[in-house]
Amino acid sequence: MKKSKKSLSALLVPDYIFDTYRDITPEFLSSIGIKALLIDIDNTLAPYEQAEPDEHIRKWFASLSEHGIKAALISNNHPPRVELFNASLGLDAYPDCGKPKSAGVLRAMEKMGVSTEHTAGLGDQLLTDTLAVHRLGMISFIVPPIKDKTSAFFKFKRMLERPYIRKYFKSHSAQKTNNPIIERTWKCKR
């Protein structure tokens, strides 16, 4: 497995930012050669307090599956949360992943039988979700947090992310988004 030699700054700028996970379609994934997705749960698919997937989430996973896109859940949250969330989805799921470490990511890919060039990671945090997959040279998708925690620690983490989100939008100036959560989370004037 070839590890990325990118600078830390390049490792933290995501490859794509979407308004919501639902904007990531099987057609888009196929168009960029992605056959498998490794997906964070908290604030990417659902807020922390939502224990089970809603209809939108179930439909989205069904559509990925219908198009032959493999999916697994990779979460830093603990087994009870991840297992309950996954109960009706029945995906491969990896709790206590320890992102930005890559061990959990590699374990998930090995089980799915996919390689780094055809796999992408989806999450809401650059310092865990983006870094974990970029370290392995994979593509990183970011969505703004559905309902961010308001603790000082989380605000601090979002502040650290700001320059990398701004760098992304600087090089993707044609991308139009009117998502107020992006502006609020990363103080991006769009």
Is 161 near Mg ion (CB under 5 A)? no
Is 86 near Mg ion (CB under 5 A)? no
Is 40 near Mg ion (CB under 5 A)? yes
Q: Tell me the sheet residues that pair with 89.
A: none
From the CB of 30, what's the least distance to Mg ion, in Å? 25
From the CB of 75, what's the least distance to Mg ion, in Å? 8
Specify the stretch interacting with Mg ion by CB under 5 A; choose among 38-46, 99-107, 148-156, 166-174.
Answer: 38-46
User: Cis (ω within 30 of 0) for the bond into 100?
Assistant: yes
Specify the stretch interacting with Mg ion by CB under 5 A; choose among 42-50, 98-106, 146-154, 169-177.
Answer: 42-50
DSSP 15-26: SEE-SSGGG--H
Which residue among 12, 24, 37, 42 contacts Mg ion (CB under 5 A)? 42
Say how far apart CA 98 and CA 110 lie, in whole Å.
Answer: 17
Closest residue by Cα to residue 125 from 169, 174, 160:
160
- CA-CA-CA-CA dihedral for 30, 92, 76, 50, to nearest 10: 90
From the CB of 99, what's the least distance to Mg ion, in Å? 9
Contact pattern from residue 101 through residue 140 relative to Mg ion, giving x for each residue in contact according to CB under 5 A and a dash for the rest: -----------------------x----------------
Q: Tell me the sheet residues that pair with 42.
A: 46
Is 43 near Mg ion (CB under 5 A)? yes
Closest residue by Cα to residue 158 from 181, 134, 189, 135:
181
Say how far apart CA 87 and CA 187 lie, in whole Å.
Answer: 36
Is 148 near Mg ion (CB under 5 A)? no
Nearer Cβ to Mg ion, position 42 or 161? 42
Nearer Cβ to Mg ion, position 61 or 144? 144
Q: Which residues contact 34 (CB under 8 A, 6 or more apart)?
A: 69, 118, 119, 120, 139
Nearer Cβ to Mg ion, position 43 or 185? 43
Note the residues at the interface with Mg ion (CB under 5 A): 40, 42-43, 124
